[in-house]
Structure 1
């Protein structure tokens, strides 16, 4: 059985950078405790991968099945 709840570590890091894929799929690229850290990491990602769409989300109540 695959657990659908967030782990304790994931709950401590609610800010996520998500890469958007076709067919409404998402992959969590990185997790952060502070939004400021996520924004800085996102700016680096946008410089390294300018054509890949990434977003910052707050995922404290998000379960794993919808984040992938």
Structure 2
């Protein structure tokens, strides 16, 4: 996870068939993500969107 992605943890995800997904947008604040998601649902009513908080994966250091 890049530094920019850490600054924008709220994600709008479009749900696709066969358990696939696409991250549509990343936001700093949950309210911004909700407002954008509502606009997307009005523009594309047949698509399914959800909002998630992306905590990322902890980086593991290899010690020898």
TM bucket, shorter chain:
0.7 to 0.9
Query: Alpha carbon RMSD of aligned pairs, Å?
Result: 1.4
Q: Aligned to 1:40, which of 31, 35, 41? A: 35
Q: Which runs of 5+ in 2 are unaligned?
A: 59-64
CA distance in 1 between counterparts of 2:25 and 2:54 reads 12
Larger Cα Rg: Structure 1 or Structure 2? 2
Paired positions, count: 58
Provide TM-score, normalisation by structure 1. Answer: 0.80
1:31 correspondence with 2:26: yes
Q: Which runs of 5+ in 1 are unaligned?
A: 1-5, 64-68
Hey, which bits of structure 1, 4+ residues long, moved more than 2 A? none
Partner of 2:62: none
